[in-house]
């Protein structure tokens, strides 16, 4: 990945409505998206993902702040002059045109020569494996095929950036998995910068080069999937991505002191200690180090089991350990255990 910046959003504020009833859909958002990267906007419903995408596409104007594409200020530029294409959540295919005409639409509007329109359309049809469907009306296609047409239509003019607003949310699980692979392949083959919106954390983790986690109109954290999973900066990010145990602590010279009085070495700063369930180890009580805990419940998940625990002062914790079938130990409710953390697993975060 080159370090050239494709898109810069500078201190974007977007308010809907006026005065006291105004709603800040985006509240001082700044991100840099590198050229050629698969960048994902992840967050719960209503956090402003679509709004940010629409600002980049040019369908909305920011209340304050700037949008730069390849270093050029496009804040005031209308959408039809921006080198950016969108794959709409509802696809928004033109019902009066065939598959091929849909794909060629952007090139035609740009006034490219007919031969080029035809050649590029054929190339795109092959890229999304729809050669056989070129002359069909889009209403005769399945959801997955329509999705591909929408992709091909947006890719055909070779935009600098492709914006995708939850493009897979309308597909069933199996098709969604296929399209995830397909999208990733298209992105690698074309080398185009993808800005992808989803509220599915797994989708974000598996597909992205970098993720921006958003909440309530603010970007909470930007980073590679591993960074975000292993080093979340606050409680929102930690809880939105994966499962996490939150333990209130007080910082001391030796480390973080739990409510039970035990002191644990932890990286980071803050008053909350986080540790992922799969990073807990359970051993026999009274042997070696570890926090004393009691098993309060066991849930079988096939590949692993979730063991609910209570520390000596009643603080609850969950551990994810290998299933007994795979050679792990089994646990029963009421059993005393010693809980140890994998090295480096415990982190302190701000509330």
Ligand X SMILES: Nc1ncnc2c1ncn2[C@@H]1O[C@H](COP(=O)(O)OP(=O)(O)OP(=O)(O)O)[C@@H](O)[C@H]1O
Candidate residues 18, 21, 45, 80; the one interacting with ligand X per rule CB under 6 A: 45
Secondary structure E strands in 20-118: 23-34, 38-42, 64-69, 72-73, 84-87
- Partner whose footprint covers residue 244, from ligand X, other proteins, Mg ion, none (CB < 5 to 8 Å by kind): none
- Partner whose footprint covers residue 120, from ligand X, other proteins, Mg ion, none (CB < 5 to 8 Å by kind): none
The pair of structure tokens assigned to 314 is 């009643």
Residue 167 interacting with other proteins (CB under 8 A): no
Closest to other proteins by CB, 81 vs 174, is: 81
Residue 95 interacting with other proteins (CB under 8 A): yes
Contact 163, 84 (CB under 8 A): yes
Candidate residues 14, 49, 153, 199; the one interacting with other proteins per rule CB under 8 A: 153
Closest to Mg ion by CB, 49 vs 276, is: 49
Closest to ligand X by CB, 25 vs 152, is: 25
- Partner whose footprint covers residue 140, from ligand X, other proteins, Mg ion, none (CB < 5 to 8 Å by kind): other proteins
| Residue 111, C-beta contacts closer than 8 angstroms, at least 6 positions apart | none
Q: In angstroms, give the least distance from the CB of 191 to Mg ion.
A: 26
Dihedral angle sign, alpha carbons of residues 139, 169, 79, 134: negative
Calpha distance 181→166 (Å, rounded):
15
Residue 137 interacting with other proteins (CB under 8 A): yes
Residue 48 interacting with ligand X (CB under 6 A): yes
Running DSSP on this structure, what letter comes out for residue 230?
H
Closest to other proteins by CB, 57 vs 214, is: 57
Residue 142 interacting with other proteins (CB under 8 A): no
Residues 170-199 that bind ligand X (CB under 6 A): 199
The H or E element spanning position 229 is helix 225-230
Candidate residues 109, 188, 265, 299; the one interacting with other proteins per rule CB under 8 A: 109
Candidate residues 27, 46, 246, 324; the one interacting with ligand X per rule CB under 6 A: 46
Q: Are strands 267-268 and 347-349 parallel, antiparallel or unpaired?
A: parallel
The pair of structure tokens assigned to 275 is 């540790």
Q: In angstroms, give the least distance from the CB of 188 to ligand X.
A: 26
Residue 16 interacting with other proteins (CB under 8 A): no
Calpha distance 139→98 (Å, rounded):
9
Angle between the N-to-C axes of helices 114-127 and 143-155, in degrees from 0 to 180, rounded to the nearest 10: 140
| Residue 329, C-beta contacts closer than 8 angstroms, at least 6 positions apart | 282, 321
User: Which residue, among 292, 295, 298, has the nearest Cα to 338 in the 3D structure?
Assistant: 292
Candidate residues 12, 47, 258, 266; the one interacting with ligand X per rule CB under 6 A: 47
Contact 242, 72 (CB under 8 A): no
Residue 90 interacting with other proteins (CB under 8 A): yes
Residue 300 interacting with other proteins (CB under 8 A): no
Candidate residues 40, 51, 220, 221; the one interacting with ligand X per rule CB under 6 A: 51
Residue 59 interacting with other proteins (CB under 8 A): yes
Contact 3, 193 (CB under 8 A): no
The pair of structure tokens assigned to 91 is 């696809």
User: How many CB atoms sit inside 10 A of residue 54's CB?
Assistant: 18
Which residues contribute to the site for other proteins (CB under 8 A)? 57-59, 78-81, 84-86, 88, 90, 92-96, 105-106, 109-110, 137, 140, 153-154, 157
Q: Which residues of this chain interact with ligand X, rule CB under 6 A?
A: 16, 23, 25, 43, 45-51, 199
């Amino acid at each position: 990945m080159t370090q050239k910046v494709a898109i810069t959003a500078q201190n974007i504020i977007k308010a809907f409505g006026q005065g006291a009833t105004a709603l800040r859909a985006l509240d001082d958002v700044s991100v840099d998206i590198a050229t050629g990267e698969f960048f994902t906007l992840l967050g719960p419903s209503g956090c402003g993902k679509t709004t940010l995408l629409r600002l980049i596409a040019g369908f909305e104007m920011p209340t304050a702040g700037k949008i730069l594409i390849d270093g050029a200020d496009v804040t005031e530029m209308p959408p039809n002059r921006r080198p950016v294409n969108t794959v709409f959540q509802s696809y928004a295919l033109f019902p009066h045109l065939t598959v091929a005409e849909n794909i060629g639409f952007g090139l035609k509007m740009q006034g490219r020569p007919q031969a080029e329109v035809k050649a590029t359309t054929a190339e795109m049809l092959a890229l999304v494996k729809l050669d056989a469907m070129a002359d069909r009306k889009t209403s005769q296609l399945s959801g997955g095929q329509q999705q591909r047409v929408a992709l091909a239509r947006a890719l055909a003019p070779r935009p600098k950036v492709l914006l995708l607003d939850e493009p897979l949310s309308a597909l069933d699980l199996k098709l969604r998995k296929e399209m995830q692979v397909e999208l990733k392949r298209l992105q690698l083959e074309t080398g185009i910068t993808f800005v992808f919106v989803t509220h599915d954390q797994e989708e974000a983790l598996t597909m992205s080069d970098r993720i921006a986690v958003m909440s309530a109109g603010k970007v909470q954290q930007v980073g590679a999937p591993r960074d975000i999973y292993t080093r979340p900066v606050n409680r929102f990010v930690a809880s939105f991505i994966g499962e996490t145990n939150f333990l209130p602590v007080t910082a001391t010279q030796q480390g973080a002191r739990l409510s039970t009085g035990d002191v644990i070495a932890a990286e980071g700063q803050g008053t909350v200690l986080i540790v992922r369930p799969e990073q807990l180890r359970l051993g026999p009580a009274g042997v070696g180090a570890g926090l004393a805990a009691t098993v309060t419940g066991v849930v079988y998940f096939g590949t692993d089991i979730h063991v609910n625990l209570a520390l000596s002062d009643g603080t609850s914790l969950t551990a994810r350990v290998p299933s007994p079938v795979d050679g792990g130990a089994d646990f029963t409710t009421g059993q005393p255990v010693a809980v140890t953390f994998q090295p480096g697993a415990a982190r302190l975060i701000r509330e």
